[in-house]
Structure 1
């Protein structure tokens, strides 16, 4: 089976464009990964997600192990067949969700024991069990199991958590083994402490991974603090491996992260916003709930080619959201995912052409103009 690989095609400043090769297809970077938490991108058919330009989806170890169960998915042919998505899938390790969602957690050196937020059933996740679950799911990119402290936290707590995560990273590497065609990513932790981030990156490089993620950001620290960290964090990682910023973000977060050397991102924001009446456009955010749209015959964005903009007016989108119709979330999610992928495509083209600064300036200038005037 072909092995996992990363080819860097061009750089412009610290921004990079390249290709991740997997047996299930290529991933163009910078890449945005729509989140399919429970084996579905909410409100979208898999072929519709692909039509927006997505090369890869993200699945969630914590949610899938609880329902319907990783072993059941394995018996049914693996996650790709189960959810009818034949292209690459990245699964997170479950660590973040255990810390943020589960009840009655108990953390030890061995792992974490918790009760399901769904039915209260008792479960244990260790690095070895996380690798076992992700193998059963059949994911193409597997994340090392880590511990995610709730922020804000004091330096000693962040340092202790990071060192535990590094010990778990080595156990994840050992348990993952040699799986041609599949990749294991390590996760850099350390909060906003530069020396802890440096120590974490060095520990992961010593272990050796197919790619490296920057974790523990986009957890409420604010964009300025996140960008301060990203000014140095990607540079701590190998040039010849993909760099994945977990859980980011808004369009300007994504552009800023790519400008600082990030290759991959994921976020629930496009789909979650779509279900709550929020559309992301080249001119910024549109709240379709607002009464100003009720008589507006124009599309969300006249230059957008997604189905929501090609076939439907703001007035219609306002109506179906107010009426609680399912098509509202479907159309707005499609639009948002399409817009996010247009951002990624625009950045890939601009980096390859050496015009990234120009592209970035135009991106920010148009957003600064704000939404079109009301009718």
Structure 2
């Protein structure tokens, strides 16, 4: 179905990393097929997804399990996960000719794609905003600022396959004022230009160049139109793609034809596969799939597929594996699923692992859920080979066939990690204490017993002060003992 008239990203920037196979049709759909090819990496057919990592690892999965039991082709990592010290261990990892330090430190297969950005996806809310020269980030030792020179130096040292430059994004959930939005766009443009200039002046080994995906801000088009013009006219030869933070703005790129052939990564975290389909229909090529981690954390096994099955009832997007009904179910998580989890284990075993708080339970769930997402995108590409009209029709059927949200897991989630952190004031602690002070518990029990015994049966509430005096005496006695 290849259309020779279509341009690819090499026509403008001089680097052939993305090839368009089919593009928007006359029916208005912007969904498209393509191939992302980076030197030394396996070709990634698009639309596709990148797994979102925490501290360089996909939650619950070790690199060997990723290689053996998943088909993930790319990984998104955040610089703030590694820079808790002045000289973080990642920068002390041996490099070597033709070696990418980020791959070596994270032990990922050399043929997979690493993408490095300054902040996590989704990012933790910061208590203070960005400054004209620095971006606020959250590390394991607290909040700090990162400057463009520091970010550029680190990128040069780590050599990710793809880099997302610093962008002045909203640091709270509140909608910024118009004046603030204008300032965000201006800062992002200045940071991008400084980053590109520093990157160009410090390149030493051409074979280790990182592909740059310029940010497209979640700002209304009238505010950032000149920034987009700057991308398409002034720095296009230095760009290899776009990092889109609001997929709703993609139709505006029709005003900038040079940007159309570039691959588009969506950093707007989807919460459901329905949102993914919408992003693809708007022209997204790669999705940062963060809901895979949250769904596995919740103990939910994904059960959706694309195209959807031909049934009359509305089906759930997943199964709550904490439910007691699975305690004796010796069937796969999904009938017909070819993933390692479904091939080797059954629902009853996974239910037992979760209730026993065994990490293997979440490990098997993560393998299964990433397999389901991989098959989901394979189904999208298969539908697009038959035409955009077929894809749009199947997308409408999918929305009608499945519930709009994932079921909630009813069990206890694993202990919170860095990407679970909440910085809002007065937030409850995510992790419950792993141990208790037995002496204090025993003292509390004795005090409660004394308080209850000091009040005669049937006495009115007026006798409460007597109980208080006795409790205070009990506390003093226990303290002396």
- Name the TM-score class by shorter chain: 0.7 to 0.9
Deviation of 1:322 after TM superposition, in Å, equals 1.3
| Mapping 1:260-275, distance limit 5 Å | 260-275=282-297
What is the distance in 2 between the residues matched to 1:96 and 1:247?
12
1:84-132 Cα deviation digits (max 9, x unpaired): 22124343431568973566x5633221366x64234x85412232122
Distance 1:262 1:176, change over 3 A: same
Deviation of 1:349 after TM superposition, in Å, equals 1.8
Preserved CA contact (<8 Å) 1:190 1:200: no
The alignment partner of 2:22 has SS state of: strand
The answer to whether residue 149 in structure 2 is matched with residue 118 in structure 1 is no
Preserved CA contact (<8 Å) 2:329 2:348: yes
**Which residue of the other structure, out of 181, 191, 195, is the alignment partner of 1:168?**
191
1:250-295 Cα deviation digits (max 9, x unpaired): 2111111111110011132212321221222214122212233333
What is the distance in 2 between the residues matched to 1:334 and 1:278?
12
What is the distance in 1 between the residues matched to 2:77 and 2:323?
33
The answer to whether residue 73 in structure 2 is matched with residue 73 in structure 1 is no
Question: Hey, what does 1:276 align to over in structure 2?
Answer: 298
**Which residue of the other structure, out of 395, 404, 423, is the alignment partner of 1:360?**
395
Question: Hey, what does 1:203 align to over in structure 2?
Answer: 230
The answer to whether residue 322 in structure 2 is matched with residue 300 in structure 1 is no
What is the distance in 2 between the residues matched to 1:234 and 1:73?
41
The answer to whether residue 19 in structure 2 is matched with residue 7 in structure 1 is yes
What is the distance in 1 between the residues matched to 2:253 and 2:180?
23
Distance 1:319 1:141, change over 3 A: same
Question: Hey, what does 2:243 align to over in structure 1?
Answer: 213
Distance 1:232 1:69, change over 3 A: farther
Preserved CA contact (<8 Å) 1:275 1:329: yes
What is the distance in 1 between the residues matched to 2:81 and 2:273?
26
Preserved CA contact (<8 Å) 1:247 1:267: no
What is the distance in 1 between the residues matched to 2:134 and 2:147?
4
Preserved CA contact (<8 Å) 1:73 1:137: no
What is the distance in 1 between the residues matched to 2:106 and 2:163?
18
Question: Hey, what does 1:20 align to over in structure 2?
Answer: 36
Give unmatched runs, 5+ long, in structure 2. Answer: 1-13, 305-314, 407-481
Aligned length, in residue pairs = 355
The answer to whether residue 61 in structure 2 is matched with residue 44 in structure 1 is yes
The alignment partner of 1:300 has SS state of: coil
Question: Hey, what does 1:232 align to over in structure 2?
Answer: 251
The alignment partner of 1:345 has SS state of: helix
What is the distance in 2 between the residues matched to 1:99 and 1:275?
18
Preserved CA contact (<8 Å) 1:65 1:133: no
Question: Hey, what does 1:31 align to over in structure 2?
Answer: 48
Distance 1:212 1:319, change over 3 A: same
What is the distance in 2 between the residues matched to 1:74 and 1:240?
37
Preserved CA contact (<8 Å) 1:8 1:240: yes
Preserved CA contact (<8 Å) 1:70 1:136: no
Deviation of 1:234 after TM superposition, in Å, equals 5.6
The answer to whether residue 384 in structure 2 is matched with residue 351 in structure 1 is yes
| Mapping 1:331-346, distance limit 5 Å | 331-346=364-379
1:113-152 Cα deviation digits (max 9, x unpaired): 66x64234x8541223212212222201011111211232
Preserved CA contact (<8 Å) 2:18 2:34: yes
1:154-193 Cα deviation digits (max 9, x unpaired): 22222211221121111121122165553111001143x2
The alignment partner of 2:348 has SS state of: helix
What is the distance in 2 between the residues matched to 1:36 and 1:99?
12
